[in-house]
Amino acid sequence: MEHGRADAVHAVEASGVGKVFAGRSGEVVALTDVDLTVRAGEFVSLIGPSGCGKSTLLRLIADLDGASSGALTVFGKPAHQARLDQDYGIAFQQAGLLPWRTVAENIALPLELHRVGKEQRRARVAELAELVHLGDFVDRHPDQLSGGMQQRVAIARALAASPKLLLMDEPFGALDEMTREYLQSELTRIAAETGAAVVFVTHSIPEAVFLSDRVVVMSPRPGRITDIVEMPFAGERDEALRESPAYFERVTAVREALHGAPVERANER
Amino acid sequence: MSAVTAGARDGWLRVAAPVAVGVLGLLLWFLVVDVLEAAPRMLPSPIAIAEELVLRSGIIAEDMAVTATNALLGLGVGAVAALVLAGLAMASRPVDGMLAPIVAAIAVVPIVAVTPILNTMFGASSQFGRVAVAALAAFVPIFVNVLRGLRQTRPVHRDLLRASAATGWQRFRVLTLPTALPYLTTGLRIAGSLAVISALVAEYFGGPADGIGTAIATYAKSGRASLAWAYVAGGIAIGLVFFLVTALLERLATRRSPQ
Ligand SMILES: Nc1ncnc2c1ncn2[C@@H]1O[C@H](COP(=O)(O)OP(=O)(O)OP(=O)(O)O)[C@@H](O)[C@H]1O
Ligand SMILES: [Mg+2]
């Protein structure tokens, strides 16, 4: 629905972005010549074999590392400025909760760091806890939660400052299939409710197809974007979609893009 | 069900076993000294010691207060110095480089060896030498543990704070310090016992004529074995209190530490 606003600022705009790590045993080219635009409110997944630079790209957008070459802007600003302005929220593969803080205190962390008043903080935390269905657990500590619940806390924390961009690096990677599908549906709902753009790293083709407006396919040595596959499922991401032929057709399309050639009878197993 | 009873039995055993050993020891001691009358010199009956403890409880408590205060002050001063210096060492590589050999030197020099000098330095009427010895002894384990603790922050937590645009001070307060807290309490537990031992032993080498150590030395020399042992019991009590309090602190702090 953002397509009509031609003048809208893009959430992420990368052109010719490269990253070289200088290691002891020489240089590692983690990314070369990445061109990628993520529109406001758009859900984009990054998929590709291990070592193709998915995490690296995400960390560049988050300004956790600096790009070696190219131009990278987040909402029209340099990534560094966007980080200081709290324009994005981030969730990692590990939930990364602070074990000595309660669920509420973990969710409130970004707000606390930006000196949001106590009352406002409390209201926002209550709201977010409801959003991720953890309203009854705000006073627990992370060690009293399951992995899936911890991951939901991490997502609530990422959403705390109401960012217009959500960066997620395999946030469901360590979870069982049931929890995973549940959280995927939750994320779809949350992304729709908040209108945030999402850049989502995953190893799972079905997950990428289910969640995304576009799936960015990457390939290693050197890390680069090889294909971008459009998903036509806006507004119909429910359980029925997981069983529909159109969905399997897209799964096959992404698989073929990943393997660089048509995969025969991919969904006839 | 059986797990519950097994757990209860384990808990019961944990208390009963050492108590049984203690009672057995006392019985054996009583048997050797009072029944067989085969005691070596200076080993009085446990009953005689208990009598002295009750009879002299006032003066023993006063001396215990002196030694315990010295140990506590030393522990406090040592802990504050260790915290500040560990913080500086973490913040700046050059400071770390300068402190490392000093700490190593303090760690290898037996503190007791310099006690007579310190006592003479600060005069026969000052507790300062004793406090200084306790502080030096307490400093090393706290410094070493805190410095290690300050370096234990996890990469995912550091990324998180950077992504939240936290300032250096915020990162220290929200992440570095809480991460180091269990290490601080471990250091305190080790240092607590060291501070008591050091403060007590320091009294053997001069200074004012008070404190548990001074009394033990005096009464041992003059052959009043029961009284000397009663004071030893007082020293044990101080050590126990220090250990229990610091061990409790450590337990509280490690309850929610990252795995
Ligand atoms: N800090 C670093 N120092 C040196 N090399 C690095 C660093 N981070 C990543 N690399 C290298 O960059 C390349 C891309 O790594 P990256 O972590 O982005 O891959 P990835 O696509 O996220 O892989 P995975 O799916 O396994 O998470 C790899 O070859 C990796 O070895
Ligand atoms: Mg990765």
Q: What is the ipTM of this complex?
A: 0.86
More confident: A5 or B144: B144
Q: Where in chain A is the domain with CATH 3.40.50.300?
A: 1-87+165-263
Task: Compare CB distances from A100 to B154, B164, B256 and report the shortest one's residue.
Answer: B256
- Distances, alpha carbon A151 to alpha carbons A176, B184, B243, in Å: 12, 30, 39
Regarding the beta carbon of A18 and ligand 1, being less than 6 Å apart is answered no
pLDDT in the model for residue A266:
43
Contact between chains at B160 and A96 (C-beta distance less than 8 A): yes
The pTM is what? 0.80
Whether residue B144 has pLDDT greater than 80: yes
DSSP-derived 3-state class of residue B138: helix
Widest distance between CA atoms in chain B = 76
pLDDT digits (tens, 9 = 90+) for B202-211: 998 888 889 9
Contact between chains at B156 and A92 (C-beta distance less than 8 A): yes
Whether residue B181 has pLDDT greater than 60: yes
Please name the residues between 181 and 220 in chain B that touch chain A, using a CB distance below 8 Å.
181
pLDDT in the model for residue B3:
55
Residue in A31, A34, A54 to alter for ligand 1 test, most ligand atoms within 8 A of Cβ: A54
Residue in A52, A93, A207 to alter for ligand 1 test, most ligand atoms within 8 A of Cβ: A52
Helix, strand, coil tally for chain B in percent (to 5) = 85, 0, 15
pLDDT in the model for residue A9:
85
The C-alpha of B176 sits at a distance from chain A's nearest C-alpha, in angstroms, of 11
Whether residue B4 has pLDDT greater than 60: no
Q: How confident is the model at residue B59 (pLDDT cuts 50, 70, 90)?
A: very high
Regarding the beta carbon of A23 and ligand 1, being less than 6 Å apart is answered yes
Contact between chains at B163 and A94 (C-beta distance less than 8 A): no
Q: Quickly list H helices, A15-139.
A: 54-61, 79-84, 103-113, 118-131
CB atoms closer than 10 angstroms to residue B116:
15
Q: Supply the DSSP string of A211-253, one letter for each residue.
A: H-SEEEEEETTTTEEEEEEE---TT--SGGGGGSHHHHHHHHH
Contact between chains at A100 and B257 (C-beta distance less than 8 A): yes
pLDDT in the model for residue B231:
94
Selected residue of B157, B160, B254 to mutate for chain A interface (largest A Cβ count, 10 A): B160
- Residues in contact with A203: Cβ distance below 8 Å, sequence separation at least 6, in sequence order: A47, A50, A170, A173
Q: Which CATH superfamily is domain B41-256 in?
A: MetI-like (1.10.3720.10)
Burial class of residue B36 in the structure, from the number of CB atoms within 10 Å of its CB (0-12 exposed, 13-18 middle, 19+ buried):
exposed
Which residue's CA is the nearest one to ligand 1's atom 13?
A30
For residue A50, the CA-to-ligand 1 centroid distance in Å is 8
Average pLDDT taken over every residue of chain B:
88
Q: How confident is the model at residue B182 (pLDDT cuts 50, 70, 90)?
A: very high
Q: Which CATH architecture has domain A1-87+165-263?
A: 3-Layer(aba) Sandwich (3.40)
Taking only the tens of pLDDT, chain A with its 269 residues reads 444 444 468 889 999 999 999 888 888 888 999 999 999 889 999 999 998 999 999 999 999 999 899 899 999 999 999 999 889 999 998 899 999 999 999 999 999 998 888 999 999 999 889 888 888 999 999 999 988 899 989 999 998 888 899 999 998 887 788 878 888 888 888 888 888 999 999 999 999 999 999 999 999 888 889 988 888 877 778 887 888 888 888 888 888 888 875 555 444 44
**Which atom of ligand 1 is nearest the CA belonging to A58?**
18
Regarding the beta carbon of A26 and ligand 1, being less than 6 Å apart is answered no
Regarding the beta carbon of A217 and ligand 1, being less than 6 Å apart is answered no
Whether residue B107 has pLDDT greater than 90: no
Residue with tokens 């959500």: A166
pLDDT digits (tens, 9 = 90+) for B69-95: 999 999 999 999 999 999 999 888 898
For residue B94, the CA-to-ligand 1 centroid distance in Å is 32
The C-alpha of A267 sits at a distance from chain B's nearest C-alpha, in angstroms, of 37
Q: Dihedral, CA atoms, A44, A50, A56, A62, nearest 10 degrees?
A: 40
